Amino acid sequence: MSAEEADGEPGAPEPATDRQPGRLVTGIPGFDAIAGGGIVAGRSALLVGTSGAGKTIFGLQFLTEGVRQFGERGVLVTFEEIPEDIARNADSFGWDVSGAVAGGALTIIDASPDTESSDEEFDFESLVAQISTAVANVGAKRVVLDSIGALFPQFKDPFAVRRGLRHIIESLRPLGVTTLISAERSEEYGSVARFEVEDFVVDGIIMLRHPLERRTRSRTIEVLKLRGRSHLTGEYPFSIRPHGGIEVIPRPVVEIKQESSTERVSTGNEELDRVCGGGYFRDSVVLMSGSTGTGKTLLGCEFVKAASDRGERALFFSFEESRSQLLRNAASWGIDLAACEREGNLRLEFRRAERMLLEDLLLELRALVEEYEPERIAIDGLTTLERSSLPEAFREFWVSLIGFMKERDITVVFSSTRALGMDVESTTEAHISTMTDAILVMRYIEGGGRAHRGLLVLKMRGTEHDTRVREYRITSTGLSIEGPIESVAGFIPGAATMSDDAPRTTGG
Q: Any idea which residues carry the catalytic annotation? A: 80, 320
CB 147 within 8 A of CB 55: yes
Strands (E), 324-460: 346-350, 376-380, 411-418, 438-447, 450-460
DSSP 73-105: -EEEEESSS-HHHHHHHHHTTT--HHHHHHTTS
CB 202 within 8 A of CB 169: yes
Number of H helices, E strands in the chain: 14, 24
Q: CA-CA distance, 252 to 272, in Å (whole number)?
A: 32
- Measuring CA to CA, which residue among 327, 302, 286, 308 is closest to residue 481? 302
What 3-state DSSP class applies to 482? strand
Q: How is the chain split among helix, strand and coil, in percent rounded to 5?
A: 35, 25, 40
- DSSP for residue 231: -
How far is C-alpha 278 from the chain's CA centre? 34
- Measuring CA to CA, which residue among 150, 194, 152 is closest to residue 49? 194
| Helices 83-91 + 55-70 axis angle, to 10 | 70
Amino acid occupying residue 151: L
How far is C-alpha 229 from the chain's CA centre? 25
CB 72 within 8 A of CB 142: yes
CB 393 within 8 A of CB 358: yes
Residue 106: how many CB atoms within 10 A of its CB? 27
Q: CA-CA distance, 296 to 316, in Å (whole number)?
A: 13
408, burial (CB in 10 Å: exposed 0-12, middle 13-18, buried 19+): middle
73, burial (CB in 10 Å: exposed 0-12, middle 13-18, buried 19+): buried
For residue 206, what are the contacts with CB-CB under 8 A and spacing of at least 6? Answer: 39, 45, 46, 47, 48, 58, 221, 222, 223, 224
Q: CA-CA distance, 279 to 247, in Å (whole number)?
A: 37
Q: CA-CA distance, 110 to 88, in Å (whole number)?
A: 15
